Structure 1
Amino acid sequence: MVCFHSSIKSLLITFGPFIITRAIGYLRSPPAYVNGPKRPIRPVPPHVSRALNILFITACFSLLSTFPYFQPENIFVVTHSRLQTPSDVLFARLQKVRPLTSGDTILKSKLVSMDARLLYLTYGPSPLAECTFCNSNSPFSYLYYSFPSIVAPHILHIAVLGVVTSSLLSGREGNFWRSKATIAGVGLALAEISAFGTYNYKNNSTATRPTDLDAFHWRIQVYRGVAIALIDALLAWGLYLSSTNRKFVQPFSPAERLESATRTLEAASSRLRADGALRSAVVRDEVLRGKMQSYWVAEGNIMGQIYEEPDVLDSVNGALRRLNVQQITEEAGRYADGVIGALPGLQPEVTLE
């Protein structure tokens, strides 16, 4: 156990600064938008807010499940006893803490051998007190009996992840995280099953003090609750960033881009029709037509006076000297050819000699 913690500490010291630096840089970097304009940042949609509330509740329940009050009692911890303590002394100490129950009587009859006590620390009190086909000669029989209780929290967690990432509850934003959340939930379940399958229940056989005991069953429950809460928190964080268009933004689909372009063209067409109607009304009204002509005559006189000033003339001449007139003429010709070529009936006639 000490070696395990030392290895984790060494890995964190070695790779921690690199991982933290890259994570901060990724969070501060602007999001990448592909194939179209970026989506504007928006508040959390109501349907995503409901999913975030569910994840918050499940994360809180997972953390609460790690408290000793919600876990089965470990009699070696309660009585501060060594693993080699005789059963009579062990349960006499337990009786001083609380009244004994019928379950304690059954457990007392089971904890007579060292293997049974080692299996108690590995799989908890339920398999020893309730399993009828389990025996110390076949340690995996306790794993078979404990298997439903091991996978049940993970099945419930995967179901919650499926609900909060479903299209019905969280829409497209949640569906984006559906496969990732499912992989994380299934991976956590497989990791716990693998931990139970590979754990050597005899690790505590050399422990001589109560503080040296590795209560694997209780330790794995704490790890499970923290891991489930962490997955829910990460999923909620990802949902928040993607639903508000801060990170993990999906580009506009072709249908969305086509719809946006159609709306833009419709708005421009509406403005052009309104401008045409207004111009037609101005031209048909004698008073308005006179005002329009007066405006353009006055505008021409003002601009003519401005261009006659020496400073303006010098600036215009200097700008004309810097321009490539031939290049501008060619570009104007290509633009005119493109416009005229797009209009039906105005294409140049081709004669065959």
Structure 2
Amino acid sequence: MVELGISFATIRSLLVFFAPILIPRAINFYRTIRATLAQRPSPRPLPSSTSRSLNVLFVTITIFLVLSFPFNPHAPDANIFSLTRSRLNTPTDVIFNRLARYRPNNTLTAADMLLRSKLTSIGARKVYLRFGPDTLTSCQFCSLDNVDSYLLYHLPFNTLLPHLFHMLVLGLVTSRPFGGQEVARWRNKFAIAGLALAAIDLYTVTTYDPVQSAQAAVRAGQILPPSLYNQITLIRPLALSIFDGICAGLIYLSATNRFFFTPPSQSEQVDQLVSTSMNSLAGTSSKLHALSVTRNAVVRDKVLKDRDDEYWRTVVAMNGENMGVGNIWEEEEVVRAMSRAMAGQGDVDLAGLGVNAGEYVNGVTAGLER
């Protein structure tokens, strides 16, 4: 049994020394977390702009996940060394004679014949395992004396293009006009993480040699050699799919105020107030415009114009008559009736009248109080 070199007395001495420093900090940290959680608002529905970004991420997650399956239409062809159970030093004729058994009518295809003409040395087989058959057979300027030439041919379309497409998707879904403020706050973080993932992939493809990094038995021709090209072609979309899934989860949690909530800054509050004021002014302007249109329609129509003029002539005539008689509100019967109504002795429901009047005023002036 292995005995620990730290005794109980030593642990007690350390606790006595560090406890006065660590315990207050731990309590303050706990209070800070508790205050932050207490200020967090209740969860809200997902905004429409954020939902649009999540839909795009869901589509890209599905695409990358399908591309990570070995049986998808764009999956790389099986490694001929694993397919034919051949080792690194197996003669070329033996490898392709075995390969012909897996082809229709036991006949090699044109692509197999082209690969057979290239796969004649250990160096070419290392390039095949590292960069795949297309790079080995299609590159016109590459040479086995300079393996970096195959790397330059392989990187743009096989490594950089998927990550470039991925960064474009991240830029789209985290843009403020497309996804809103809730998603835009993650823009820099997602961009840095996406670039880091691309750098790891680029470093792996650039520096990793599946033969030199494998067991000594692979180089000695005792066991089957692994194919970096086949492995990373399927791992890359799987990693991008997982990455986008994590991004979608973070966006959902922050947009619905379930986690990662940050109170709006002063500038955001000012922008929200200005936006609310502009919406209120726009609503008022539209109501005034509708009133102006209605007034113009009345004035332009002869029948409506005559009725409007007749109404106002009648009002003016009634006011002229009342001026000689006196104000109706000052008559004794009217004053007594109003006093009884205000005292609740009449049949008038003042509470209901007040509610109706308030609803009418609120409907007419909707938006103006903001």
Report the TM-score, using the length of structure 2 for normalisation: 0.59
- 2:87 aligned with 1:75: no
CA contact (8 A) 2:89 2:221 kept: no
Q: Which amino acid aligns with 2:100?
A: Q
CA contact (8 A) 1:77 1:210 kept: no
Distance 1:185 1:95, change over 3 A: same
- 2:121 aligned with 1:139: no
Name stretches of at least 5 consecutive residues in structure 2 with no aligned partner: 1-29, 277-336, 345-370
* Match among 40, 46, 49 for residue 51 of structure 2: 49
TM alignment of 1:43-192, pairs within 5 A: 43-69=45-71, 70-73=74-77, 74-99=79-104, 100-149=108-157, 150-192=159-201
Q: What residue number does 2:230 align with? A: 218
- TM-superposed CA distance for 1:249, in Å, is 1.7
TM alignment of 1:327-342, pairs within 5 A: none
Deviations 1:300-322 (A, max 9, x none): xxxxxxxxxxxxxxxxxxxxxxx
- TM-superposed CA distance for 1:212, in Å, is 4.4
Identity %: 38
In structure 2, how many angstroms separate the alpha carbons of the residues matched to 1:212 and 1:87? Answer: 15
SS of corresponding position for 2:52:
helix
- TM-superposed CA distance for 1:287, in Å, is 4.1
Q: What residue number does 1:241 align with? A: 253
Root-mean-square deviation (Å): 3.0
Name stretches of at least 5 consecutive residues in structure 1 with no aligned partner: 1-25, 264-283, 292-353
In structure 1, how many angstroms separate the alpha carbons of the residues matched to 2:85 and 2:160? Answer: 31
- TM-superposed CA distance for 1:209, in Å, is 6.6
In structure 2, how many angstroms separate the alpha carbons of the residues matched to 1:142 and 1:206? Answer: 26
In structure 1, how many angstroms separate the alpha carbons of the residues matched to 2:178 and 2:222? Answer: 49
Q: What residue number does 1:286 align with? A: 339
Q: What residue number does 2:8 align with? A: none
- TM-superposed CA distance for 1:211, in Å, is 5.9
Q: Which amino acid aligns with 1:186?
A: L
- TM-superposed CA distance for 1:192, in Å, is 1.0
Deviations 1:138-180 (A, max 9, x none): 1111111101121000000111111111112211111111111
- TM-superposed CA distance for 1:213, in Å, is 2.1
Report the TM-score, using the length of structure 1 for normalisation: 0.62
SS of corresponding position for 1:222:
helix
In structure 2, how many angstroms separate the alpha carbons of the residues matched to 1:200 and 1:81? Answer: 19
CA contact (8 A) 2:61 2:245 kept: yes
Q: What residue number does 1:32 align with? A: 36
Deviations 1:53-74 (A, max 9, x none): 2212211221221222332212
In structure 2, how many angstroms separate the alpha carbons of the residues matched to 1:49 and 1:75? Answer: 45
- TM-superposed CA distance for 1:103, in Å, is 1.7
In structure 1, how many angstroms separate the alpha carbons of the residues matched to 2:46 and 2:151? Answer: 44
